[in-house]
A and B are shown apart, each in its own frame.
Chain A
Amino acid sequence: MNIELLNLLSKNARTSEEDLATMLGISAEEVRSEIKDMEKKGYICGYKAVIDWDKLDDTSVSAIVDLNVVPKAGFGFEDVADKIASFAQVEAVYLMSGVYDLTVIVKGKTLQDVARFVARELAPMETVTSTSTHFVMRRYKELDVKLINADSDGRGQLFV
């Protein structure tokens, strides 16, 4: 496992193997085999683009849904978390500390879509005792990438 390589990929997964190799002072062949190895071991689980959907007049909505769950004997939260994670509408599922047990990020085409999903699929689950849904109004930062005021950092006023 190569933590530095993971750090670089987490910043930009599209950096070429040659450039990664140069930055890390290893060969491109080593980069390729390290990546393959980390994919195989499940350290790297996928590669995705960070998209500012708001800029595309995309009307889809996201919500954060907090759930209280009665853990099943012998299964803990895994069982229900697995069931929830299987829905295509669900982007993320986390086990949380604090007032709620699970936090689920749900994406839908419309507000009604998401509301319906929560009401029909999540809330009625046998082990779910309560839900609290928060709709996302605007995204300012996504996966480490600032989506607002990202262009200028105020440098370049002075020649050094």
Chain B
Amino acid sequence: MMDYSSILNKTVTEIKPSGIRKFFDIAAEMDDVISLSIGEPDFQTPWEVRKEGIASLERGKTKYTSNKGLDELRKEISNYLKRRYNVSYDSKDEILVTVGGSEAIDLAIRAIVSPGDEVIIPQPSYVCYEPMTRIAGGVPVIVETKAEDEFKLTRKQLEDAITDKTKLLILPFPCNPTGGVMEKKDLEEVADVLKGTNIMVISDEIYSELTFTGNGHISPASIDGMFERTITVNGFSKAFSMTGWRLGYACGPKEVMKEIIKIHQFAIMCAPTVSQYAAVWALKYCDEDVREMLKVYDQRRRLITKGFNDLGLTCKEPKGAFYVFPSIKSTGLSSDEFCEQLLDRYHVAVIPGTAFGKGGEGFVRASYCYSTDHIIEALKRIGQFIKTLEK
């Protein structure tokens, strides 16, 4: 008999699998579930993009690309980041095409973090930063962003978290699940704190196109003094509804990218070729599609924010991503209890805030990647659930 518990890597076995899976499975077995749990666009990939993928297959473009990704795609990524966020990356040696933004985050953490290094992670946030840091031997230092700060990372929080072991800061904005964004002045504060240090930054900007501030998304690398220390991560999943294509990218100073590319070269080799060809089209011709989707998301965002507030589950208007993160503290239930009871009794699935870190207690995440009819029906049922709690 193999004693796997003594064989397997302790760091890995000690990482808890996402607790949400169980919850998901329960929801999947109910046939009249109204879910607000999915973090995936309900829009189809624009047809022209799909057609370009098909055309590349028809032309027999089914070989590996270079490790870094297609030249043409890296050039388009460079153009796009300049055009949209005013950051200049050299397509030759500062851009790597990856298998989704997730790979880019993993690579960047592994290239930067040595055992014992501290990594500052704002939470509630997407679930991958903490386990990936641990697997790299790093020590996660969690900073809990607050509803009263609109879930921004504040100057004070950052200063308090920094020690002489701090190697890396993760900036997960626009933020899943909180909807928080960092505006220019917020990022300037971060830049000011980091000035003169050797602290690197991974900026996960996968939701950058889904920003509902007047000024649009601000990329940290565009702030004075930040380019040299920032790895910008982005991808096609959310902006172009291309989740299943698995395509993202990492950009940064060439000295860092050289090392990041090494890991990618050995672990992955290259991102899927068909997806890369389709992505070239997306970057060249789909600005209008993105704007149209943003408009619809914005309408739903207003609807669901008002809906929750009307029910007494308060939330400020989220400024980014496609989630609302209302407080459920007024119900007296924990996040887990709220979600379990809501699912069990009213067949509505939302995600407990605690899935995104301890600081998510007292909140739930509701996605608005759904039709307005669907959102309205879900809110109606949540309203009925809240009424039963008041009695």
Contact = CB atoms under 8 A, between A and B. Distances in A.
B86 interface: no
Given A12-B372, A15-B372, A23-B372, A160 B302 contact: no
Interface stretch (B33-41, B180-188, B264-272, B278-286): B33-41
Q: How large is the interface on A (under 10, 10 to 19, 20 to 34, 35 or more residues)?
A: 10 to 19
Contacts of A23: 299-300, 302-303, 372
Contacts of A8: 299, 372
Nearest to A158: B40
A23 B126 CA distance: 27
Interface in A144-160: 153, 155-156, 158-160
Contact of A156 (B24, B126, B300, B303): B24
A19 interface: yes
A157 to B, nearest CB: 9
A160 B39 contact: yes
A19 B375 CA distance: 11
Interface in B333-391: 369, 372-373, 376
Interface string A1-16: 0001000100110010
A160 B35 CA distance: 14
Contact of A22 (B21, B35, B40, B306): B306
Contacts of A159: 18, 20-21, 24, 39, 127
A25 interface: yes
A158 B176 CA distance: 15
Given A23-B303, A159-B20, A159-B39, 9 more contacts: A15-B376, A19-B376, A22-B306, A24-B299, A25-B302, A153-B42, A155-B40, A155-B369, A156-B24
Interface of A: 4, 8, 11-12, 15, 19, 22-25, 153, 155-156, 158-160
